Amino acid sequence: MKEILNIKNVSVEYDRHGRKVRAVAGVDLTLNSGEILGLVGESGCGKSTLGKAIVGILAPVTGEVVFDGEKVKKLTRGKRPEHFRNLQMIFQDPYGSLNPRRKIGVQIADGLIVAGMPKKLALLKAADLLEKVGLPRNAVDRFAHQFSGGQRQRISIARALAAAPTAIIADEPISALDTSSQAQVANLLVNLVDEFDMGMVFISHDLSIVRRISDRVAVMYLGKIVEVGTVDQIWNNPSHPYTRALISAIPHADGTSFMPQDLPGDVPNPMSPPSGCRFHPRCPLAKEECKTQEPGLRKLGDGRDVACVLQTAGNQPVTITLN
């Protein structure tokens, strides 16, 4: 297993009326080839911002993203360095991410033509890619509006594949789709990761799907990673109160009138994040020290990382129960 992405201490700031808002505040993560890393958290926690910083749409104010041995630079109007063509992104909204006035084939072939392929060949390759994602070859001559949401997302995936990516950042790729398309597109992504030995960061707020398709999961809260571990570790024995709260809030579709647990309060405004542990105002287990001391990530005995004072580095995780 080869490390394809290394995210080191990345912070991203937005400028809001002259005030700096730190949407991502010092994130460390790695991604290996052939691996799906689920990135979860409530809306406003900085997942998408982090995704954009990884591919270079946004420039980090601290830290760096290293892709396949080279530091990712911010995208400019100029040509993207060849090395980074293998780092691609898929967006949530398959309606907004395709050009309504250009044929599908041309949009997919763009990446190939930029890379120097003759246009005719590139269009043939585009048809191949469409076939790969489960669409008919003749889709090259059609326009985006002639496809359903699920099909459009397949087109976006084909477009990303045109660059022969070794890493893909997928930002909520199935959230806008219907139930049956969701499963189909998720399966497609899983199979592609397998087939091409890519690495994928799968950003989603839907924990049940992340549980199903990911190898590892990173949980984010207000710009920081609070826990990273394998799916089984995170799911069966969450070691951060926030992870526990997220999992307890998922309804069970089993007909047992199970009542999911809500987490009172909202994600605080990143303009003025709480002192100490950022989760302390909503944490039912918060202690006095949580208000002042910010817990760093610590590696537990089972190999996962967690940022919570209730856990001790090197020890097995203490089971977290909320009320």
Partner 1 sequence: MNLLTVENLTVTLATGSGDAQAVRNLSFNVGHGEILGVAGESGSGKTMTALSMLGLLPYKGKASGSIKFDGREILTSSKREYRDLRGKEIAMIFQDPMTSLHPMLTVEVQLTEHLRHHRKVSKDAARNSALELLATVKIPEPAAALRAHPSQFSGGMRQRIAIAMALACEPKLLIADEPTTALDVTVQAGILKLLHQLRKERNLSVMVITHDLGVLSSLTDRIMIMYAGSEVESGLTTDLLRNPRHPYTKGLIAALPGNSASNSKNLLSIDGMPPELGNFPTGCAFHTRCNYAKESCKGAIPEVTNLNSTHRIFCPINPFSEVTSAGSQS
Residue 182 CB, nearest approach to partner 1 (Å) = 8
Residue among 217, 163, 158 at smallest CA distance from 192: 158
* 253 belongs to the binding site for partner 1 (CB under 8 A): yes
* 272 belongs to the binding site for partner 1 (CB under 8 A): no
User: Looking up tokens 């930029």, which residue turns up?
Assistant: 114
* 294 belongs to the binding site for partner 1 (CB under 8 A): no
Helices (H) and strands (E) counted in the chain, each on its own, are: 8, 12
SS3 283: coil
- Indicate the residue among 70 and 178 with the shorter CB distance to partner 1: 178
Tokens of 14: 């937005």
* 271 belongs to the binding site for partner 1 (CB under 8 A): no
* 23 belongs to the binding site for partner 1 (CB under 8 A): no
First to last CA, the chain: 40
Residue 246 CB, nearest approach to partner 1 (Å) = 6
Tokens of 289: 């020290």
* 43 belongs to the binding site for partner 1 (CB under 8 A): yes
* 69 belongs to the binding site for partner 1 (CB under 8 A): no
* 298 belongs to the binding site for partner 1 (CB under 8 A): no
Residue 223 CB, nearest approach to partner 1 (Å) = 16
* 211 belongs to the binding site for partner 1 (CB under 8 A): yes
Sites for partner 1 among residues 228-247 (CB under 8 A) = 245-246
Helix (H) or strand (E) holding 63: strand 62-67
* 249 belongs to the binding site for partner 1 (CB under 8 A): yes
Q: Name the β-bridge partners of 70.
A: 67
Residue 25 CB, nearest approach to partner 1 (Å) = 20
- How far lies 107's CA from each of 140, 199, 303, in Å? 9, 24, 43
SS3 290: helix
Per-position x/- string for 182-201, each x denoting binding to partner 1 as judged by CB under 8 A, each - no binding: xxx-xx--xx----------
- Indicate the residue among 68 and 171 with the shorter CB distance to partner 1: 171
Q: Pick from 83, 145, 212, 299: which binds partner 1 (CB under 8 A)?
A: 212
Contact 234, 303 (CB under 8 A): no
Q: Pick from 37, 209, 228, 290: which binds partner 1 (CB under 8 A)?
A: 209
Q: What is the 3-state secondary structure (H, E, C) of 170-198?
A: EECCCCCCCHHHHHHHHHHHHHHHHHHCC
* Separation between Cα atoms, residue 38 and residue 15, nearest integer Å: 28
* 266 belongs to the binding site for partner 1 (CB under 8 A): yes
Residues that bind partner 1 (CB under 8 A): 42-43, 148, 150, 178-184, 186-187, 190-191, 205-209, 211-213, 245-246, 249-264, 266-267
